[in-house]
Structure 1
Amino acid sequence: MPPATRIPIVDLAGVRAGDPDALARVAREIHDACTTIGFFYIVNHGVPQAAIDAAADAARTFFAFPVETKRRAAVNKRHRGFNALGDATMYQAKRPDYKEFFSIGLELPEDDPDVLAGQALRGPNNWPDFMPSLQPVLYGYYEALAACGADLLRAVAVSLGIDEHFFASRYTKRMQRTQMVYYPPQPPQSSLADADQFGVAPHTDYGCITLLWQDQVGGLQVREIANGTWVDAPPVPGSFVVNVGDLLARWTNDRFRSTLHRVINASGRERYSIATFYDPTYGATVDPHDLGTPAAESRYEPVAAGDYILGRINDSMGYRKKLAGEGSTA
């Protein structure tokens, strides 16, 4: 039996099988979830369990290395690589997040036209020389999540009353980012100041949709929009947690809700997760008018997806602030 949760569970099996009735049903379920809590689980998503298990094992192996070793793959200007404790501070949080993470993106060679043109966040990944086994495992997972994200966006499109293939042309060279995340056990909260420490402080995600694998430790919480209370998003075996990001909320003119969420690892155990931010091509135009919003009712001006995501990364990552101070525009 899955754990009790107020967050809906959506079965993608029929969507993947090409069943039009299942696509319509799933679209309704997604619409209900995205216009209320902004979160849902997906099961029967098509990502092989072996790929998930291998990526999770790789994360545990990677984060067990000494921090001095992990810094040999320190995050670079393309937002690829290792981020240590203290490298990320969400919005108005009083303390940096209590986590480490390692980021990858779409693997592009140095002679790719967008890389040569200096497009931000593009290029080859920053794989660790001390763990050569990580690249095939994590990039295999990355590609499997891309296929899952494409299936999911077909249902999202139908849920918005537009052609199911609308998003495909906006994802030809996706800005997908995948992060392995490690949360050390948080110290007990013995004072008011300690209550300001989070594994990840309350925030909304930057991009279009997020697909999250989480281990069995728990700690993810979602803020219900209707009453402002925090509800648990417990681990559901065989699932990914999916949430609307700010870019999709903007695209839908806020019909879909990008919801605050946080992580508090009060378990006394190490927690691992793998977050995939499934986002469009850098130059894809995000315009509410394209999803049926009349121009007179649009709350947002058109924006390039990559420019928006880059701006949000710059606001939250400590190393980006340092680059900005040095005059970098990467």
Structure 2
Amino acid sequence: MRTTSSRTSSRTATWTDLVVAGRYRLLDQVGSGGMGSVWRAHDLRTGQDVALKVLGRHSSTLLARFVREQAVRVSHPHVVAPHGWAAEDDLVVLAMELVAGGSVADLLREHGPLDAGTCALLVEQLLLGLAAVHGAGLVHRDVKPANLLLEATGDGPPHLRLGDFGVAAPVADRRFTTVPGAIGTDGYMAPEQARGAPPEPTQDLYAVGRVALELVTGEPPGRQDVVPSHPLRPLVERLLVPDPEQRIATAEAALRLLRRLPVPPPAGPPVPDRLGPPPRGRRTTAGPGAVVDWLGWAAVAGLAGVVVGCLWVLLGWTA
């Protein structure tokens, strides 16, 4: 999630207090991403505040990513996956838990290299989340600090949540391969992923190695050189093996190795609430023409399925 520009903010300011699909009242825009803007919203059905990812321009590529992400259903303390979607007029949204502590990218930008204990804790939590994702038959394919969200724990230990499943794919599903080219973020992709190989869990584990090295050194992949002497070095070296056949094969195996390493307790920086209290302006209700019934939007889901089917045939499922 990144800070929105004033131009984007002015363009979307009129959405504040809008009720989408009779359920989600938009409160304030808290960021933006590759698929569109991210809003804090009040769920009128549950009474909880949630994060809504609002789809941007509806190109075929963006629609493919949206359909792919909304299908992910992984419930785990270290994962943030969508728990529903809705649509109304030109707004299409994904609903997920609201995570208020920013991201690991924010933590690194503000504090630089982290202490060994905090590095180990964050890597452990990431591996736990990936174990659940891989157990569900998925490969995330875009593990990087910006997609590692943090709960606002204050002075307590950090609590990491793996998010953004827009390019996730079933394990070894060749329909999700781009040739030539690759799907992911440069620097964090495994060599075989960068060559367009089918999705495999070991590709996510290579990315964990890159993230771990960034936590240790404070340097992004483009400026990483060698693995320094550090308590996490044995794990990082095993994760960054170029040959996927020689790399650690599973998140569980990586966890076992990590837990054998002599690391101190975490002593890292606090994780503040970066969103602050939600605005509580006037309460609005959706007018008769504004509400799109959830059952009615089942037809939209069906249409999206047709579009995705066409993408498989015509585009080879490119991201």
Using structure 1 for the length normalisation, give the TM-score: 0.25
Between structure 1 and structure 2, the one with the greater Rg is: 2
